[in-house]
Chain A
Amino acid sequence: MNCLDFRRRWLTVPCAGDLALAQHERVCSGCRQFARRGLVFERRLREAVSVEAPPGLTERIRQRRDIGEMVHKHQARPLRYAVMISLVLAAALVSLLAYDFLAPDPREAEFHRVAEHLSLFPAGARKDMLQESGAGEHGGDHTIVPGS
């Protein structure tokens, strides 16, 4: 290590305490002086940089955290209500749709009732009754199979 490297290292990371710096310092009186002045400078620099923290800083940080938490809780409450109401509405909607889907169609029930009623008659009478009611006039296929 030469003097230039030594000083460069000292000005970058002072008091690095590595072996190469110490070895050079032992053999070079100019760099030894430089390092000694550097130590004094570093001590002064630490003093100059150390701005005094205001009294009660930690307490104010805690207070702000507590206030922040309170505000957060109050803000979260309407959101919680909104979520609950949405869930209730969604459940109501689902049950309404399910009822609509599962409930028997009144027309289908009527059809079954008539079909059951017709099945009590013999086949010939049934055909006559259908022709009378006009259901067989257009040649439509109105075969009624009870229980279908």
Chain B
Amino acid sequence: MHKSRQARFGLLIEAYAADLYRYAAWLCSDRAMAEDLVQETFMRAWHSLDSSKHKGAAKFWLFRMLQREHARQSNRSQAQRAEMGEGVLADVGRYDGNAEAVDLRRALAALPPEHREPLVLQVIGGFSCEEIAGILDTASSDVISHLFRARKQLREAVSNERLDRANNKVMA
């Protein structure tokens, strides 16, 4: 019983830890905090593994739990919250230094959280609008609206950046 529980837990970690970390990094913009958030989420998952109502939707359940945990931590230490995106942006050079990726990441970090969160959930988790609404505890019509605005703003921001860079090249 205990072994099968451990095996199930191991599978959850292998399957979702990286995606949860990515989501957490965009939520709290700090690598250490993101890792702590993921670990805390898995601790909660371990304790409620047997009583889980979402046995068929472990991914949804974990993302939802992480989102709740983040909300709890944010309420606890609102004063300590870093400026959104700075922590994630600081890591850009480590693994993808091309200008377009930097622009896109900067634009993403500059989005209001209510636009960014559904978009990140959709891109990282591959969730449907209904699932995102369930994770964020909001209406799916709101999710659709946020997704639309987020992509629109990102496309505009990236094309503006590209235009600026082209102008700078011409000026030089």
Which B residues, 80 to 128, have Cβ-Cβ distances below 8 Å to chain A? 88, 91, 94-96, 100-101, 104-105, 108, 120, 122-124, 128
Q: How many residues of A contact B (CB 8 A)?
A: 26
CA distance A46 to B22 in the complex (A): 11
Contacts across chains A and B counted by CB atoms under 8 Å: 85
Q: Contacts A12-B147, A46-B123 given: A61-B39 contact, CB under 8 Å?
A: yes
Query: By DSSP majority rule, is chain B's interface helix, strand, loop, or mixed?
Result: helix
CB-CB < 8 A to A60: which residues of B? 35, 39
CA distance A57 to B168 in the complex (A): 41
Which B residues, 1 to 49, have Cβ-Cβ distances below 8 Å to chain A? 9-10, 13-14, 17-18, 21-22, 25-26, 31, 35, 38-39, 42-43, 46
| A49/B35 in contact, CB under 8 A | no
CA distance A65 to B10 in the complex (A): 11
Closest residue of chain A to B36, judged by CB?
A64
User: Which of A11, A42, A68 has the largest count of B CB atoms less than 10 A from its CB?
Assistant: A11
CB-CB < 8 A to A61: which residues of B? 13, 17, 38-39, 42
| B147/A13 in contact, CB under 8 A | yes
| B104/A45 in contact, CB under 8 A | yes
Q: Which one of B9, B21, B101, B158 contacts A54 once the chains associate, using CB atoms below 8 Å?
A: B21
Q: Contacts A51-B26, A52-B94, A52-B95 given: A45-B46 contact, CB under 8 Å?
A: no
User: Which of A13, A46, A48, A68 has the largest count of B CB atoms less than 10 A from its CB?
Assistant: A48
Which residues on A are within 8 Å of B, measured CB to CB?
Answer: 8, 11-14, 41-42, 44-54, 57-58, 60-62, 64-65, 68
Name 7 A/B residue pairs within 8 A (Cβ), A-sorted: A41-B154, A49-B123, A51-B88, A54-B35, A57-B17, A57-B18, A64-B39
